[in-house]
């Protein structure tokens, strides 16, 4: 089966380094404010691409829409997002589904031929057994010849079927890998290799709707990160973010998930967490691990040992929606920052610990 040509993924559309990406975002946000466009991920992606200027058709469509409408229609934004931002992912999924259908059709045809061959073989075998009961039967040579031919035909059909089955298994595995990669690209943050904000909001909303009990939210923010970037440069800042992402992957409790919420801010959704003490103990372990990070400047071999993070915790309550839970955790994070940073708020039974 021929494979579909490789198309660009969403991550390929925006390959800029952090500084270039920040510059494009600084262009996109004023444009959105000027046209009173709702600040949501779909609109950010559209106007980021607009500022990038690599898709003239998208830019023409956006110019026309803001000229024709006082308020940007949300359904139009979603349509443009599908057509111009994630169209390749949607097309890959459609092609993958069609390839699976084709494979199933091929296997079905082979099975039908194999069944027909087995029927012919059984008929020949029955005739052969009947003829063997009478050794003087003059039709015996012909019957045996038919039986031999049917046996060879059935063997050939089975070999072809096994070959096609193995080929189908290889193709299905390839398609599964393609879909897995597409799914990962859509849900993972490229830099830290943990979930991105879109995936986080989807998972948190789903968790709250299913059962709020035993659900806790941990928010953390790397202290003085903007100053760190200004002093040492964005590449070193990116390495810090990567280290924090790795720590999150290593320390995550069972059934929990971590995400990069934005910039230097991260979130952890904890399950089977019924009290703040449990969330606090996890956050405190992570805080100490972040504080122990040592990042070396490659240009001078200087080791930086001043990386810390502040944490805010909140337990989900009956009737909580996503915004309410995030706001409570964010309020505690603000309190940790206000009280001196490098601490976890709130502490269930102890004052917030600081270095």
Reference 240, options 301, 296, 300, 195; nearest CA is 296
Question: Looking at 17-21, 96-100, 145-149, which range is the least confident one?
Answer: 96-100
- Say if residue 352's pLDDT is above 50: no
Under DSSP, is residue 77 helix (H, G, I), strand (E, B) or coil?
helix
User: Residue 272: left if φ>0, alpha if ψ -120 to 50, beta else—which one?
Assistant: left
Q: Which positions ≥6 away from 21 have C-beta within 8 Å?
A: 14
pLDDT of residue 141 exceeding 60, the answer is yes
The secondary structure element, H or E, covering residue 208 is: helix 197-210
Find the angle CA(90)-CA(14)-CA(72) to the nearest 5 degrees. Answer: 70
Q: What is the mean pLDDT of residues 169-174?
A: 71
pLDDT band at 148 (very low <50, low <70, confident <90, very high): low
Active site residues: 264
> Could you report the per-residue pLDDT of 213-248, keeping only the tens digit for each?
999 999 999 999 999 988 888 889 999 999 999 999
We find that the CATH architecture of domain 197-345 is 2-Layer Sandwich (3.30)
Predicted local distance difference test score (pLDDT) of residue 186: 78
- HSE at residue 98, side-chain half, CA atoms within 13 A, is 10
Which DSSP helix (H) or strand (E) runs through 266?
Answer: strand 265-270
Does the structure show a pLDDT above 50 at 105?
A: yes
What percent of the chain lies above the pLDDT cut of 90? 34
Residue 56 dihedral angles phi and psi, to the nearest 5°: -55, -35
At 195 the pLDDT is: 94
- Region 348-355: mean pLDDT is 46
Higher pLDDT, 336 or 299: 336
Q: Where are the domains of the chain?
A: 10-85, 88-187, 197-345
**Mean of the per-residue pLDDT values of the chain:** 78
Tens of pLDDT along 15-62? 556 677 777 777 877 877 777 777 777 777 877 888 888 888 888 888
Q: How confident is the model at residue 299 (pLDDT cuts 50, 70, 90)?
A: confident
Q: What pTM, to 2 d.p., does this model score?
A: 0.53
pLDDT value at 211 more than 90? no
Band of pLDDT at residue 334, cut at 50, 70 and 90 = very high
Q: What is the pLDDT of residue 353?
A: 43
């Amino acid at each position: 089966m021929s494979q579909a040509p490789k198309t660009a993924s969403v991550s390929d559309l925006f390959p800029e380094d952090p500084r270039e990406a920040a510059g494009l975002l600084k262009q996109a946000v004023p444009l959105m404010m000027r046209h009173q466009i709702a600040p949501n991920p779909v609109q950010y992606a559209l106007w980021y691409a607009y500022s990038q200027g690599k898709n003239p058709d998208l830019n023409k469509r956006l110019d026309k829409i803001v000229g024709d409408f006082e308020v940007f229609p949300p359904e139009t934004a979603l349509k443009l997002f599908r057509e111009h931002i994630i169209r390749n992912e949607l097309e890959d999924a459609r092609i993958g589904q069609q390839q699976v259908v084709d494979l199933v059709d091929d296997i079905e045809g082979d099975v039908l031929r194999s069944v027909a061959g087995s029927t012919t073989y059984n008929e020949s075998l029955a005739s052969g057994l009947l003829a063997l009961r009478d050794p003087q039967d003059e039709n015996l040579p012909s019957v045996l010849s038919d039986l031999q031919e049917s046996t060879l035909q059935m063997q050939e059909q089975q070999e072809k079927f096994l070959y096609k089955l193995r080929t189908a298994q290889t193709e299905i595995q390839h398609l599964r890998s393609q879909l897995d990669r597409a799914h990962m690209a859509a849900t993972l943050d490229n830099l830290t290799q943990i979930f991105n904000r879109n995936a986080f909001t989807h998972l948190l909303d789903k968790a709250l709707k299913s059962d709020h009990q035993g659900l806790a939210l941990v928010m953390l923010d790397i202290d003085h990160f903007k100053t760190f970037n200004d002093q040492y440069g964005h590449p070193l800042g990116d390495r810090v973010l990567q280290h924090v992402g790795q720590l999150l992957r290593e320390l995550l409790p069972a059934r929990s998930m971590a995400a990069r919420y934005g910039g230097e801010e991260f979130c952890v959704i904890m399950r089977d967490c019924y009290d703040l003490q449990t969330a606090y103990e996890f956050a405190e372990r992570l805080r100490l691990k972040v504080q122990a990070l040592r990042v070396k400047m490659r240009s001078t071999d200087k080791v930086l040992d001043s990386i810390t993070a502040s944490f805010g915790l909140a337990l989900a309550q009956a009737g909580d929606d996503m915004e309410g839970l995030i706001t409570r955790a964010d309020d505690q994070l603000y309190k940790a920052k206000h009280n001196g940073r490098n601490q976890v708020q709130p502490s269930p039974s102890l004052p917030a610990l600081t270095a």
